[in-house]
Amino acid sequence: MEGFHALIFLIILLYVISTAQYATLGIQPAASDRAALLSFKSLVDDDPFGALSSWNNGSLHYCRWRGVSCGRHHPDRVTALDLKSLRLAGLISPAVANLTFLQRIDLSDNMLDRSIPEEVGSLRRLRYLNLSVNSLGGTIPSSLGNCSNLRLLNLRGNNLNGEIPPTLSRLSGLRDLLLNQNMLQGTIPDSLGNLSSLVVLSLDNNNLSGAIPPSFGSFLSLKTLAIQSTSLTGTIPPTLANLSSLNMLLLRQNKLHGEIPHFAELPFLSRLDCSYNYLSGTIPISLGRLSSLEYLSLGMNNLTGEIPPTLYNLSSLKTLELPYNQLEGTLPSDIGNALPNLQVFRMYNNQLEGRIPASLSNASKLNHLELSANAFHGTIPSSLGALQSLSWLALAINRLEARKPNEWSFITALTNCTSLRVLDLGDNLLQGMMPKSIFNLSTSLNILALANNHISGIIPTEIEKLINLTVLDVSGSDLRGTIPIEISHLWKLQRLDLSDNMLSGEIPPTLGNLTLMDKLYLGSNEFEGAIPPTLSNMLMLELLNLSNNRLSGSIPREVLSLSSLTNFLDLSHNLLNGSLPLEVGNLINIGTLDLSNNRLSGEIPDTIGKCTILEILYLENNLFQGSIPSSISNSRGLKALDLSKNFYSGQIPAFLEELPDLKYLNLSFNSFEGPVPMKGVFKNVSEVSLIGNPKLCGGIPELHLPKCTSDVFAVKHHYDYKLKII
Ligand SMILES: *[C@@H]1O[C@H](CO)[C@@H](O)[C@H](O)[C@H]1NC(C)=O
Ligand SMILES: *[C@@H]1O[C@H](CO)[C@@H](O)[C@H](O)[C@H]1NC(C)=O
Ligand SMILES: *[C@@H]1O[C@H](CO)[C@@H](O)[C@H](O)[C@H]1NC(C)=O
Ligand SMILES: *[C@@H]1O[C@H](CO)[C@@H](O)[C@H](O)[C@H]1NC(C)=O
Ligand SMILES: *[C@@H]1O[C@H](CO)[C@@H](O)[C@H](O)[C@H]1NC(C)=O
Ligand SMILES: *[C@@H]1O[C@H](CO)[C@@H](O)[C@H](O)[C@H]1NC(C)=O
Ligand SMILES: *[C@@H]1O[C@H](CO)[C@@H](O)[C@H](O)[C@H]1NC(C)=O
Ligand SMILES: *[C@@H]1O[C@H](CO)[C@@H](O)[C@H](O)[C@H]1NC(C)=O
Ligand SMILES: *[C@@H]1O[C@H](CO)[C@@H](O)[C@H](O)[C@H]1NC(C)=O
Ligand SMILES: *[C@@H]1O[C@H](CO)[C@@H](O)[C@H](O)[C@H]1NC(C)=O
Ligand SMILES: *[C@@H]1O[C@H](CO)[C@@H](O)[C@H](O)[C@H]1NC(C)=O
Ligand SMILES: *[C@@H]1O[C@H](CO)[C@@H](O)[C@H](O)[C@H]1NC(C)=O
């Protein structure tokens, strides 16, 4: 009986306590929870999965509505609202604030918009608020600073703007604060440093300015600090180097300057990313103390000096990226033994020198090795062939040598790398015949770039074995012979660059079978014969350069029908003859058209006026005649026009002075006559050349042309007048 009385007493006591709580907080009891939920539902204007369809069913208690949980001690009070990923659209009702027992709100990954109701700030019991991945706008309510029990505040991936309210610094129990991927502005409040329980702080992808508050050095439990892609300036506060629990420090892509601070021993730091900033000075020796570091990225800065040897103590490193700095010195010969876990090693665009260490092959999981644009010399170590995972090998723009055939043996070794996708050895000192073994490289190879070396011999027919090639660049070498028809079997090719060699014979018509081709460069060789009309099958072709060859015959109208050509079409310096086909007007997206230095004749077809995006038109040194078609005035963006050394006649059309961007006009050595316009490009002698047209007159005095007789003026005025009427 004693026990029973005690129990009754306890129940009564609990009731008194809870009602007292209602009384003190001025909150109406349980009955209104249902009304608040219905208010929430009423402002959801799209619910494609019918998630809230149970939310009005008279027979079902609201504590059993989908996503609603109620308390154990207060069975009528809503404690959690879990409605994530239901594509709910509409706004969040301020009435949720009436659910005073709420501990948890998860409305993440919906399509809720408008602002976060200020009233949410009155939810004193709230521990978890996840509104991430919605379309919420407006500012973060400063009242959230009143939710003193909040452990998690996740507002990631909304359209929140305004500043971070300093009141958030009152949330002393907050462990996770995620405000990333919004449009927050202003500076980060220094007082956030008071959030001494923080474990995760992410402010990535906002428009924050100002500096990182030094007070952030007091987050002794912080594991992740992510402030990337904001616009922060200032230096990295040295205090951050003391955050002893830190796991990840991510400061990529800001405008931070100054030196990288000296790090204390941070036993848990595994990821450090300060890339894409304006950091200068040397890499601190103290980085060598970060014994758990797996990922170190300091690229795209202005770091100088040598790589501190202590970095090679970091045997856990998997990724080491220091590209685009001004680092000097050599790589240690035992690097592969010191960093046995290395997978990604990116050092391109620095001033490193010395040899490529053969020991890299001991980092057996290495898959990206990118050392381009440095000053490495010596031969390429064959040991790289032992790297089973190697997929990306970029050693371009160095002084690497292969003079004797055995110095090419690395290629044979690389045939063991069955995952190789990219091999870029361009701009080095590789000489001699392309070793046949190159065609035994993995069929997974996508990019083979050997440009600007001294590779001689022919392109072997075995090239067809590299069936996965999308890019083949052997430009700027000493290749001879013809293009093997087998190249046409590389059906995935998107870019083929054979320019600047001594290749000869005809361009194989079967090249047209390469229908994914995007850029085709065959310029500066000794190709002859006609341009194959089949090239017009390359329906994705953006750029075609066949210049500086001995191609003859007329320009195939089919090729001019490639409306995909946007970049440029360069057929200059050949022996092409005949007239320019009307189809030139199909090049509606072309930016540069260079047909200069051929034997083209006849008039320029009016259809050229359909090339409205044309910026550069070079037709000089041909046999063209007639007048300049007025349709050219449709190319409003024309910047350069060269018609020199032809047989053009008639007056210089006045529309040329109206083209706003025209900065280069060469009409010399033709038979133009009459007055020279005075405005636009004609105002500046350095932008216009008219010599060798004896019948021209007028123009600005600096042109030193004879004065025009009055009746010629009259003609010009008349023309001007007509043009204006049009
Ligand atoms: C929420 O509470 C306020 C004030 O206590 C009251 O005026 C309002 O009607 C309530 N809203 C709903 C939907 O219950
Ligand atoms: C109410 O809910 C019960 C149980 O889920 C269901 O069987 C009934 O059809 C619902 N009634 C209405 C009117 O939606
Ligand atoms: C919050 O919501 C997002 C999106 O649904 C989810 O990825 C995340 O795990 C949730 N929880 C926390 C603790 O942020
Ligand atoms: C909640 O926060 C706001 C803004 O920070 C403040 O003005 C208000 O007094 C607070 N409300 C309560 C009940 O503490
Ligand atoms: C919060 O931080 C500010 C500035 O960093 C400091 O002046 C203030 O005393 C701190 N407040 C609390 C409650 O710790
Ligand atoms: C970022 O903020 C600056 C002012 O601090 C403002 O001028 C700029 O327009 C903002 N950019 C975006 C994308 O909101
Ligand atoms: C880092 O912590 C050490 C000891 O914990 C302290 O002596 C030093 O002043 C701190 N440095 C910074 C920059 O806060
Ligand atoms: C890089 O540093 C050099 C001097 O060390 C300085 O002259 C240069 O302006 C810096 N460049 C950038 C982009 O900060
Ligand atoms: C780290 O590297 C330096 C220089 O290479 C060396 O003197 C030192 O003993 C190394 N420390 C550890 C802990 O390996
Ligand atoms: C490549 O593989 C062959 C045969 O499997 C082997 O003899 C050779 O040593 C390997 N080369 C390298 C560099 O690992
Ligand atoms: C071509 O590459 C793709 C993906 O890069 C790969 O799945 C495929 O196996 C490769 N084909 C050959 C013949 O290696
Ligand atoms: C090119 O394509 C045509 C027809 O699509 C086919 O007959 C011919 O064999 C192909 N030639 C080559 C070299 O692939």
Beta strand pairing call for 375-379 and 399-402 = parallel
Residue type, 228: Q
Atom of ligand 9 minimally distant from the CA of 310? 2
Residues linked to residue 369 through DSSP beta bridges, in sequence order = 345, 393
Q: What are phi and psi of 317, to 5 degrees?
A: -55, 130
- Sole residue written with tokens 């219905």: 38
- The tokens 């997978």 sit on which residue? 343
The CA-atom distances, in angstroms, between 532 and each of 473, 510, 560, 594 are 21, 9, 12, 18
Phi first, then psi: what are they for 651, rounded to 5°? -80, 155
Which residue from 63, 65, 35 is spatially nearest to 52, judged by alpha carbons?
65
Torsion of CA 596, 602, 603, 608, to 10 degrees: -60
**pLDDT of 20:** 42
Query: Which among 161, 184, 185 is the best mutation to test ligand 6's pocket, defined by most ligand atoms within 8 Å of the CB?
Result: 185
Residue 645 CB neighbour total at 10 angstroms: 19
Length of the chain: 726
- Rounded to the nearest angstrom, the distance between the alpha carbon of 345 and the centre of ligand 10 is 23
Rounded CA gap, 152 and 573, in Å? 69
State the distance from the centre of ligand 6 to the C-alpha of 204, rounded, in angstroms. 15
In a 3-state reduction of DSSP, which class is residue 710?
Answer: helix
Q: What is each CA distance from 191 to 33, 217, 612, in whole angstroms?
A: 36, 12, 57
pLDDT, residue 18, reads: 46
- CA 554, distance to chain mean position in Å, is 41
Pocket flag, ligand 5, residue 194 (CB < 6 Å):
yes
Copy the structure tokens of residue 418: 């069955």
**Interval between CA 252 and ligand 3 midpoint (Å):** 23
Hey, what are 421's tokens? 């996708």
Instruction: Give which of 534, 574, 538 is closest to 557, Cα–Cα.
Output: 534
Confidence (pTM): 0.84
Nearest ligand, CA of residue 39?
1
Q: Which residues of the chain have pLDDT under 70?
A: 1-31, 57, 710-726
Query: Could you give the 3-state DSSP secondary structure of residue 68?
Result: strand
The strand pairing partners of 180, in sequence order, are none
| Three-state secondary-structure class, residue 439 | helix
Ligand 7 contacts CB of residue 385 (under 6 A): no
Q: Residues lining ligand 4, CB < 6 A?
A: 121-122, 142-143, 145-146, 167
Cβ pair 52, 44 in contact under 8 A: yes
- CA-proximal residue: ligand 2, atom 4 (nearest): 60
Task: Enumerate residues lining ligand 3, CB below 6 A.
Answer: 84, 108-109, 130, 132-133, 152, 154
Q: Which of 461, 488, 513 to mutate to test the pocket of ligand 12 (most atoms within 8 A of CB)?
A: 513
Which one of 442, 444, 490 would you pick to mutate in the ligand 11 pocket, going by the greatest count of ligand atoms within 8 A of its CB?
Answer: 444
